Amino acid sequence: MKRIVIVLVFLAAALAGTAPRAAADEITAEEVVARFVEAVGGREAIERIETRVCLGRVINDLSWKDPTREVTPLGAWSTADGRLLVAELGRDGIRREWTDGDSVWVQEGTKIERAEEIRRKFAWFYDPRGALRLNEYFPGLRFRGIEQREGRDVYALEPGGDLDPLYYTLFFDVATGLLTELGHYWVVGDWREVDGILVPHRIACDRKGGSSTFVYDHVFHNHPLDGALFAPPTIAGS
């Protein structure tokens, strides 16, 4: 009964456009995640998304590079059943990371290698139903408390297992319910509505000697994707 009352407080606050005032010791990770799902657009709207295409650019500002600023095109194609291709056009050609849902490969030029996984944070973002799968990408989430980040109150959800909280703690804006940071170095923002759900169009990542900012100019949902995009490479051992 107590949990039902707390969830109703969250929903009422979201509808009123104000932050929920439940005491920190009464909030659970499940409730924060549920509010995030509603803030994005709701389970029903998210489950209608079968594919996602993100087209944009990466802006690297790195003091140790010449030139210090470099802008490169970026594209990602993904399906709700776990297939994903990420391609970036850099100075040395195209770099691809992709998975058919089982195995993962990385290609730079003509060199192709197996990988353990596509970077977890990006794999979650590109997943058309990532908002419903937070606990799959960041297992063992627990509510750490209400904290101040970037001048706002946020709910901090810390992952379990071997995921370092410094890089994988999730921060959600108390006022809106939306994710604002992934770890202490990634800022998630510019949430815009695409086909009935909100999608972040900007991810800023602090790095040693500078930053990398991922800007998504176009996001499309339910565009038919050729399965050949995600096919295993024809290499020995594949």
- In tens digits, the chain (238 residues) has pLDDT values of 444 444 444 444 444 444 444 566 689 999 999 999 999 999 999 999 999 999 999 999 988 888 889 999 999 999 999 999 999 987 778 899 999 999 999 999 889 999 999 999 999 999 999 999 999 999 999 999 999 998 899 999 999 999 999 999 999 999 999 999 999 999 999 999 999 999 999 999 998 889 999 999 999 999 999 999 999 998 544 4
* pLDDT for position 13: 47
Identify which of 34, 29, 33 has the alpha carbon closest to the alpha carbon of residue 145.
Answer: 29
Instruction: Return contacts of 94-102, CB within 8 angstroms, 24+ apart.
Output: 98/229, 98/230, 99/230, 100/230, 100/231, 100/232, 101/230
Question: How do the domains of the chain map onto residue ranges?
Answer: 2-230
Instruction: Classify domain 2-230 at the CATH topology level.
Output: outer membrane lipoprotein receptor (LolB), chain A (2.50.20)
> Measuring CA to CA, which residue among 196, 148, 141, 184 is closest to residue 31?
141
| Separation between Cα atoms, residue 175 and residue 133, nearest integer Å | 22
Indicate the helix (H) or strand (E) that contains 172. Answer: strand 170-173
- How many CB atoms are located within 10 Å of the residue 35 CB? 23
Query: Are 124 and 137 spatial neighbours (Cβ–Cβ below 8 Å)?
Result: yes
Residues 6+ apart with CB under 8 A from 77: 51, 52, 53, 84, 85, 225, 229
